[in-house]
Structure 1
Amino acid sequence: MKPTLLILAAGMGSRYGGIKQLDQFGPHGETIIDYSLFDAIRAGFGKVVFIIRQELQADFEALFLPKLQGKIEVDFAIQALFSYVPADLGPVQRTKPWGTGHAMLCAQKQTQTPFAVINADDFYGQEAFQVMADFLTTDTDDSRHAMVGYEVKNTLSEFGSVSRGVCATDDHNNLTSVIERTKIYEKEGTIVYEEADGLTPLAPETPVSMNFWGFKPSVFPSVQAQFETYARANFDVPKAEFYIPTIVTQLIQTGEGTCRVFRSQSEWFGVTYPEDKPTVMKSFKRLHADGKYPDSLWG
């Protein structure tokens, strides 16, 4: 069975100041998602699930359904504030989604095959999709999962701090830990992450997660159980987020699963701040000029 691609597209874009999932970056008005879809299709993915907020569905359908018809199966999953929250907790008192792990859980009913998860606003490169597709179609062990890691030096923004999952691996390239650092930036030539107790340097080659994960569908019961526990513990914390690295960490610590890290030297870029947009547009223009993508992706 061909793998499924889940696209995390329900974010609010607070630092960007708009719906960056649908913003135009390519030379013919392409979104970043367009490039991920193009790479996923040629890597062998058979289905895409857009994980979105309800109010975005009409816009996503109008933009993507015509160009994807006959190329890949398309489905939608809604990340609602109350989805999978234990009913006995009562009404949800928050305004933003519960985070990437919750988003993944919201696509459970639409996902029957091994699947990858990506951000809507990140460009990962063709190699990443091919490596993940090969893993998901050949590895039959339900307890083995994977991620594509990028060197932290290639994932920074000139215009402010970024949030990254900082990874550690063993000698077999299995993930041993991934810790979400929400404030990483370069200071006086050194990459650091900032926490309440100060600054900690990071080696430039440190692998970080850009939310390109690969899972077997058997992971969902564990994800649901983890989220229910998290929701109960954080129900009165309006900005608490349940991250995918939290899920993977528990799988590793409990022995339920392992996570292979595929280290990518590929180019990565994304948009966190409005000032990132011109740089991303130039990058796409160069990729087309270099022949990495046809003049028209869907022509």
Structure 2
Amino acid sequence: MKPTLVILAAGMASRYGSMKQVEAFGPNGETIMDYSISDAIKAGFGKVVFLIRKQFEENFHKLFASKLDGKVDYEFAFQELDMFLDGAEVPAERTKPWGTGHAVLCTRDVVKTPFAVINADDFYGYDAFERAAQFLTTECNEKTYAVIGYPLVNTLSEHGTVNRGVCGLDAQGNLATVVERIGIGVKDGKVLVEDGLQPAELSKDTVVSMNFWCFHPSVFDLYERDFKTFIKDNITVPKAEFLIPAVVDNFIKEGGAVKVITTSAQWFGVTYKEDAPAVQKQLNDLINQGVYSPNLWG
């Protein structure tokens, strides 16, 4: 069976200031998601699942139905605050989603094949999807997952600091840890981190996770189990988030292997409003190079 692509598009884009997931960046109004979906179809993915909030279903359907009908199967899944709480009530002060781990859990009823997870507002490049599809169709199983890794230098913003999941590798080259480093930026040619942890300077070649994961459907049991523990400990903490790396960490501790698949693809994204012109330019450059058609779905 062909693998599934899960696109996480339920976040609130607090730093960006608007719903960047559906902002037009391409010459004919294409979103970053359009390019990811196009690359995924070309790489051999057979289904796309949009993880969104229920209130945006009509907008997403209008945006993508005419583009995707007849090209790839697609379905919507929804992330709402009251899902998978086992009867617990959502605290009044909780307004933001529970996090990326909860988002993945919310797709379990519509994902039946090995699958990749990506962010809606990140451009990952065709090579990343090709490598993910190859892994998902030939190697992925109940005990072997993967993460697509990028050189840190290719993921920084000129308009502010960023947070990145720094990948630590074991002796076999598999993922050992993902440590979220906060406030990464370039100063005087050096990549420095403002979070007070060590090392305070990172190599430009440090491998980081940009939330492009490859999983077997059996992982949903782990997500559900770990989310129950998270809710028990954090339901009254307004900004607590249940994140994908926490689940991956437990998977590794329990004997699973997570391959680190490095890609030559160029990553870019829109963390800040000021990033938007650069994203448009990079997409235009790729179109001028013949990587993408000016009319992506023409």
Q: TM-score, normalised by structure 2?
A: 0.97
Instruction: Provide the C-alpha distance between the structure 2 equivalents of 1:24 and 1:71, rounded to a whole number of angstroms.
Output: 21
Which residue of 2 is the match for residue 220 of structure 1? 220
SS of the residue corresponding to residue 284 of structure 1 reads helix
Runs of 4+ aligned residues of structure 1 deviating over 6 Å after TM superposition are none
Bigger mean CA deviation after superposition, 158-167 or 105-114: 158-167
Which residue of 2 is the match for residue 206 of structure 1? 206
Which residue of 2 is the match for residue 120 of structure 1? 120
Alignment of 1:44-193 (within 5 A): 44-87=44-87, 89-93=88-92, 94-139=94-139, 141-193=141-193
Instruction: Provide the C-alpha distance between the structure 2 equivalents of 1:163 and 1:74, rounded to a whole number of angstroms.
Output: 31
SS of the residue corresponding to residue 14 of structure 1 reads coil
Instruction: Provide the C-alpha distance between the structure 2 equivalents of 1:202 and 1:280, rounded to a whole number of angstroms.
Output: 25
Instruction: Provide the C-alpha distance between the structure 2 equivalents of 1:30 and 1:59, rounded to a whole number of angstroms.
Output: 14
Instruction: Provide the C-alpha distance between the structure 1 equivalents of 2:140 and 2:22, rounded to a whole number of angstroms.
Output: 35
Which residue of 2 is the match for residue 264 of structure 1? 263
Which residue of 1 is the match for residue 242 of structure 2? 242
Contact 1:32 1:123 in 2 (8 A): yes
Instruction: Provide the C-alpha distance between the structure 1 equivalents of 2:184 and 2:101, rounded to a whole number of angstroms.
Output: 21
Which residue of 1 is the match for residue 291 of structure 2? 292
Indicate how the Cα distance of structure 1 residues 140 and 12 shifts in structure 2: closer, same or farther if over 3 A, else same.
Answer: closer
Instruction: Provide the C-alpha distance between the structure 2 equivalents of 1:141 and 1:114, rounded to a whole number of angstroms.
Output: 8
Query: How far does residue 187 in structure 1 lie from its aligned partner after superposition?
Result: 2.5
Contact 2:114 2:140 in 1 (8 A): no
Contact 2:115 2:216 in 1 (8 A): yes
Count matched residues.
297
Structure 1 vs Structure 2 CA RMSD:
1.3
SS of the residue corresponding to residue 130 of structure 1 reads helix
Query: How far does residue 173 in structure 1 lie from its aligned partner after superposition?
Result: 2.4
**Identity within the alignment, %:** 52
Contact 1:146 1:261 in 2 (8 A): yes
Contact 1:173 1:261 in 2 (8 A): yes
Contact 2:116 2:212 in 1 (8 A): yes
Instruction: Provide the C-alpha distance between the structure 2 equivalents of 1:64 and 1:13, rounded to a whole number of angstroms.
Output: 20
Query: How far does residue 198 in structure 1 lie from its aligned partner after superposition?
Result: 8.1
User: 2:113 corresponds to which letter in structure 1?
Assistant: T
Instruction: Provide the C-alpha distance between the structure 1 equivalents of 2:34 and 2:27, rounded to a whole number of angstroms.
Output: 12
String of CA shifts for 1:253-275, please: whole Å, max 9, x gaps. Answer: 121x1100011121110000000
Contact 1:36 1:124 in 2 (8 A): yes
String of CA shifts for 1:140-170, please: whole Å, max 9, x gaps. Answer: 5321000100011110111111121110112
Bigger mean CA deviation after superposition, 162-171 or 203-212: 162-171
SS of the residue corresponding to residue 116 of structure 2 reads strand
Contact 1:82 1:92 in 2 (8 A): no
Contact 2:167 2:176 in 1 (8 A): yes
SS of the residue corresponding to residue 86 of structure 1 reads coil
String of CA shifts for 1:60-80, please: whole Å, max 9, x gaps. Answer: 000001110011111111100
Contact 1:3 1:44 in 2 (8 A): yes
- Structure 2: any 5+ residue segments left out of the alignment? none
Which residue of 2 is the match for residue 19 of structure 1? 19
Bigger mean CA deviation after superposition, 34-43 or 167-176: 167-176
